[in-house]
């Protein structure tokens, strides 16, 4: 796929590609259109797992009864991405490949313990989503690999999603959190570090029965937000802590 | 490359990475589709692809191969929404209007206020405050309520209203 001297940029819904292309910040000048590849689109169940094709659009996720039933937090995330125009084109694979720490589907995939399917001419492999990002906008996908699907294991417990941005639509997250309640609660957050973060120590604090206050203090040690055009580090820390409390109360993890 | 444009077969030569917006405006000479932000934030360039509203500034021409593309010209000036946007002040400066109408077309019949708000969340308008747009859409779907009827007359805004608005914007109040 990318044995040539210059790398090829895979094209899905292009909602991020044209932004960087128009701004002149896109490195690649050669492109490979994937849009019509039916094999990479759609949602089904395979061997007890939910399989989401990388080219599945946000609209297709929102409209899927299977996703609505088994992964409602992903539907919640998809509904808050862009407006309809973006939802009709943007894809979950593109959201992951774009590797922005603010990607709204990323915390969902992180708490769901999703696996990323990577395919190349040499074959396919699965890697845990939580280890997919190796740094700011860096992934462990090789240059010849394409993200083809995500696999979600069966989940139990109330799913929770909350995005905080300047408005409900068309806004990039200042802080985004996904969670699953239960005896071993799970939490992941975006826009608060160079990559999406699974809040493992916060989860452990909650599982051990610690108070919301204590869990919030642990969480603040797990995140490393920055000041940028959308928000400040201080605001993000405050909001992230508030979202941990909101998760606990709304899912009855704590009162 | 072949696709269907406003119900007719089209065969257009353009760079595969050209933005659909530019192909429509410059190669097909359909300038009803407007460019606002050029980055998918404003919805001014909205067209329908296979019936779904998309931002044509973010679609490479290569991706419309075989697809049905509908621009504002495809509504022929006779669509009920085009009429009601004129009658109810849904169009003011006009830049958002073609995209707004195409996004509204995709709402389907008789959308609720919530449907309109979420369905048009990707279309920015800086003139109307959206109320006139929602009114236009309600009128087009044939369920103009008494309240809506009462508010919309042939004169959209009376001249004294305009004067009052400008005066208050300037901080001047008419002495009564």
For the segment B92-108, what is each residue's pLDDT rounded down to a tens digit?
999 999 999 999 999 99
Q: How many CB pairs under 8 A join A and B?
A: 80
More confident residue, A6 or B89: B89
My answer on whether A144 and A164 are in the same domain is no
Rounded Cα distance between B62 and B57, Å, is 13
The interface predicted TM-score (ipTM) is: 0.92
Given this model, what pLDDT does residue A1 score?
A: 55
Last residue of a domain, one of A131, A152, A173: A152
C-alpha gyration radius of chain A: 18
Given this model, what pLDDT does residue B162 score?
A: 47
My answer on whether A209 and A225 are in the same domain is yes
Check pLDDT > 50 for residue B158. no
My answer on whether A233 and A171 are in the same domain is yes
Average predicted confidence (pLDDT) for chain B:
87
**For tokens 């010849």, what's the residue?**
A144
Given this model, what pLDDT does residue A2 score?
A: 52
My answer on whether A118 and A62 are in the same domain is yes
Residue of A nearest to B39 (CA): A19
Given this model, what pLDDT does residue A4 score?
A: 57
| Residue (of A94, A92, A100) closest to A74 by Cα position | A92
Q: Domain span at residue A116?
A: 38-152
My answer on whether A204 and A143 are in the same domain is no
Query: Do B73 and B28 meet the contact criterion of CB atoms below 8 Å apart?
Result: no
Burial of A125 (0-12, 13-18, 19+ CB in 10 A): middle
Q: Say which CATH number the domain at A224 has.
A: 3.30.390.50
Given this model, what pLDDT does residue A3 score?
A: 56
User: Considering the domain boundaries, does residue A15 fall inside one?
Assistant: no
| Residue (of A58, A69, A47) closest to A153 by Cα position | A47
User: Considering the domain boundaries, does residue A3 fall inside one?
Assistant: no
Residue by residue, DSSP assigns B103-162 as HHHTT-SS--HHHHHHHTTT---SSSTTHHHHHHHHHHTT---HHHHHH--SSSS-HHHH
B54 CB within 8 Å of a chain A CB: yes
DSSP H/E element including A151:
strand A146-152
My answer on whether A132 and A78 are in the same domain is yes
Interface residue of A83, A88, A89 to substitute, partner B, most B CBs within 10 Å: A83
Last residue of a domain, one of A152, A174, A195: A152
Q: Say which CATH number the domain at A111 has.
A: 3.30.465.10
My answer on whether A51 and A133 are in the same domain is yes
Q: Among B16, B38, B53, select the one facing A88 at the smallest CB separation.
A: B53
Partners of residue B53 in chain A, C-beta under 8 Å: 84-85, 88
> Which tokens in the block code for residue B128?
């109307």
Average predicted confidence (pLDDT) for chain A:
95
Q: Which residues, at least 6 apart from A44, have a Cβ–Cβ distance to it below 8 Å?
A: A50, A51, A66
User: Considering the domain boundaries, does residue A64 fall inside one?
Assistant: yes
User: Considering the domain boundaries, does residue A50 fall inside one?
Assistant: yes
Query: B53 vs A85: CB contact, 8 Å cut-off?
Result: yes
3-state secondary structure of A36: coil
Query: Do A192 and A236 meet the contact criterion of CB atoms below 8 Å apart?
Result: yes
Query: A88 vs B54: CB contact, 8 Å cut-off?
Result: yes
User: Considering the domain boundaries, does residue A236 fall inside one?
Assistant: yes
User: Considering the domain boundaries, does residue A58 fall inside one?
Assistant: yes
B25 CB within 8 Å of a chain A CB: no
Residue of A nearest to B119 (CA): A84
pLDDT in tens, A52-88: 999 999 999 999 999 999 999 999 999 999 999 999 9
Partners of residue A35 in chain B, C-beta under 8 Å: 62-63
Query: Do A191 and A175 meet the contact criterion of CB atoms below 8 Å apart?
Result: yes
CA–CA distances in Å: residue A221 to residues A141, A240, B32: 28, 11, 53
My answer on whether A175 and A140 are in the same domain is no
My answer on whether A180 and A214 are in the same domain is yes
Query: Do A132 and A116 meet the contact criterion of CB atoms below 8 Å apart?
Result: yes
B93 CB within 8 Å of a chain A CB: no
Last residue of a domain, one of A152, A171, A187: A152
My answer on whether A125 and A174 are in the same domain is no
Report the number of distinct structural domains present in chain A.
Answer: 2
Q: Which domains does chain B have, with CATH numbers?
A: 2-75 (3.10.20.30), 80-169 (1.10.150.120)
User: Considering the domain boundaries, does residue A46 fall inside one?
Assistant: yes
User: Considering the domain boundaries, does residue A31 fall inside one?
Assistant: no
Tell me the sheet residues that pair with A229.
Answer: none
């Amino acid at each position: 796929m990318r044995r040539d001297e210059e790398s090829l940029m895979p094209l899905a819904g292009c909602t991020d590609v044209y932004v960087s292309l128009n701004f002149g910040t896109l490195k690649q000048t050669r492109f490979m259109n994937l849009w019509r590849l039916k094999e990479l689109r759609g949602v089904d169940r395979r061997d007890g797992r939910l399989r989401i094709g990388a080219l599945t659009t946000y609209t297709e996720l929102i409209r899927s009864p299977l996703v609505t039933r088994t992964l409602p937090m992903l539907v919640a995330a998809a509904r808050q991405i862009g407006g309809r125009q973006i939802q009709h084109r943007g894809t979950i694979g593109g959201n992951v490949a774009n590797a922005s720490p603010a990607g709204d589907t990323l915390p969902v995939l992180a708490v769901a313990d999703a696996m990323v399917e990577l395919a190349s001419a040499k074959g396919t492999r699965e890697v845990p989503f939580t280890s997919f990002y190796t740094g700011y906008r860096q992934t462990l996908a090789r240059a010849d690999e394409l993200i083809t699907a995500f696999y979600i294991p069966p989940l139990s417990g109330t799913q929770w999603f909350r995005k905080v941005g300047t408005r409900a639509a068309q806004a990039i997250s200042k802080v985004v959190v996904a969670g699953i309640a239960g005896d071993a609660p799970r939490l992941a957050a975006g826009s608060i570090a160079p990559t999406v973060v699974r809040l493992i120590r916060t989860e452990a604090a909650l599982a051990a029965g610690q108070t919301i206050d204590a869990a919030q203090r642990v969480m603040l040690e797990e995140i490393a937000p920055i000041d940028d055009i959308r928000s400040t580090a201080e605001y993000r820390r405050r909001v992230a802590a508030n979202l941990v409390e909101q998760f606990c109360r709304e899912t009855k993890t704590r009162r | 490359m072949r696709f269907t444009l406003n119900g007719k077969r089209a065969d257009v030569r353009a760079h595969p990475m050209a933005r659909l917006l530019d192909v429509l405006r410059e190669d097909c000479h359909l300038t009803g589709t407007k460019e606002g932000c050029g980055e998918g934030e404003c919805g001014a360039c909205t067209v329908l692809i296979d019936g779904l509203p998309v931002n044509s500034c973010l679609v490479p021409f290569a991706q419309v191969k075989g697809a049905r593309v509908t621009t504002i010209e495809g509504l022929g000036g006779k669509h009920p929404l085009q009429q009601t946007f004129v009658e109810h002040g849904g169009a003011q400066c006009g830049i958002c209007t073609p995209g707004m109408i195409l996004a509204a077309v995709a709402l389907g019949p008789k959308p609720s206020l919530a449907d309109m708000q979420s369905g048009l969340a990707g279309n920015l308008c800086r003139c109307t405050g959206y109320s006139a747009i929602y009114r236009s859409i309600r009128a087009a779907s044939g369920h103009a309520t008494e309240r809506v009827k009462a508010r919309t007359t042939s004169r959209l805004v009376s001249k004294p209203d305009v004067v009052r608005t400008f005066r208050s914007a300037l901080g001047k109040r008419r002495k009564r």
